A and B are shown apart, each in its own frame.
Chain A
Amino acid sequence: MPMLPLVDWLLVFSHFASLSLLAVGGAVTTAPDMHRYLVTQQAWLSDAQFTASIALSQAAPGPNVLFIALLGWNLGLNAGGGMDAGWPAVSLALLGVVASMTATLLPSSVLSYTATRWTHRHRERRTVRAFKAGMAPIVIALLVATGWLLMAAHDKPASDWPLYLLTLAATLQVWRTRIHLLWLIGAGALLGALGWV
């Protein structure tokens, strides 16, 4: 992967910052656009790195917005020549974490912090209720689209069909049962490590 010059870092920062204000319903709803921009359009991240960032952040404790930190980490790592390049790459990776998290959190946090007092006083107001009702189906669609894109990254049905089945099974388990998520992720890791999916 090529070295990211300063102008590209600014592009990354502004893209993440603009998505910050669109992240209604949680940070993960921006995942499809992150994928479109970072993997498809700019080719700064591989599909495998993108999926890994989401998978690791879902498996670890903490809010799922942290997948953004991992995207930044991988961006920096790629820019520095990968893990084998040693400390220069790691420091770029840390720069990537700080840049991506700041860009993602700053605009939405400032807006939330200042607008919260207003919405709290006017929570019965028609505008606030209309916004909430109008965005509800969009949020649902964005979540389902994120799942779809993660699965569609594996585009060889002949060899990837067990993976599709695993996603389907996980969807049904989470939807229909109260099984703890860590069991599911552990099972996925085990099946994968054994080479069954």
Chain B
Amino acid sequence: MEKKHWLTQDRFLEDWAVAQVMPGPNVVNLSLMIGGRHFGWTGAMAALAGMLIAPMLLLLVVAALYGTVANTAAAQGALRGMGAVAAGLITATGIRLVPALHKNPMGMGVCIGLAGLTFVAIALLRAPLVGVVLLIGGGACLWAWRRLAPRSSTGAGG
């Protein structure tokens, strides 16, 4: 982006926001959008391949190498440790998004309640994702839609 000037900063941020709304991996969506806008469908495929193929090959090599040493205690221990750190990384990624909820039209309290409900359903009850997203997520979207009503007063979340 900085090198080629195919995008402005604003346009990039806007694209990034849309890429997050759509399902699918964010980076993948973003490269599809940018590649597609400038070079059509083939550009989108090229951007996607560029984004994924090299890291994927590298990862498979790492996985295959790990496979050959997977029976040693040190390798198993190392992966156990890495897994624990990865669990922390993913959890923290979620926690770091919490401040953004302050601007959410549903209000902080409702957001925390919805997040808590989702956590209990997925992590503790091990419910299928489809049902949880459709029921809790769908309900949340409807509620947000109501709160975003054009003539309602804003900023009174709670």
Residues of A in contact with B (beta carbons under 8 Å apart): 18-28, 30-33, 36, 40, 48, 51-66, 69-70, 73, 77, 83, 90, 97, 101, 104-105, 107-109, 111-113, 115-116, 119-120, 123, 126-152, 154, 163-164, 166-175, 181, 184-185, 187-195, 197
- Dominant SS among interface residues on chain B: helix
12 sample A-B contacts, Cβ–Cβ < 8 Å, listed by A number: A22-B23, A64-B25, A113-B33, A130-B145, A134-B143, A135-B140, A136-B100, A139-B94, A140-B95, A141-B117, A167-B88, A195-B77
Residues of B in contact with A (beta carbons under 8 Å apart): 14, 17-29, 32-33, 36, 41, 44, 48, 51-52, 54-56, 58-60, 62-64, 66-68, 70, 73-98, 100-101, 104-106, 110-112, 114-119, 122-123, 126, 128-130, 132-133, 136-145, 147-150
CB proximity of A68 to chain B, nearest CB, Å? 9
Q: Pick the contact of B81 from A69, A174, A189 — CB < 8 Å?
A: A189
B51, B55, B83, B142, most chain A CB atoms within 10 A: B83
What CA separation (Å) do A134 and B135 show in the bound complex? 12
The answer to whether B85 touches A187 (Cβ under 8 A) is yes
What CA separation (Å) do A119 and B14 show in the bound complex? 11
The answer to whether B22 touches A62 (Cβ under 8 A) is no
The answer to whether A24 touches B23 (Cβ under 8 A) is yes
Given contacts A138-B133, A146-B90, contact A52 B122 (CB under 8 A): no
What CA separation (Å) do A151 and B21 show in the bound complex? 28
Chain B residues closer than 8 Å to A97, beta-carbon distance: 56, 60
The answer to whether B87 touches A167 (Cβ under 8 A) is yes
What CA separation (Å) do A90 and B63 show in the bound complex? 12
Chain A residues closer than 8 Å to B95, beta-carbon distance: 140, 144, 171, 175
Given contacts A63-B55, A120-B18, A127-B145, contact A170 B24 (CB under 8 A): no
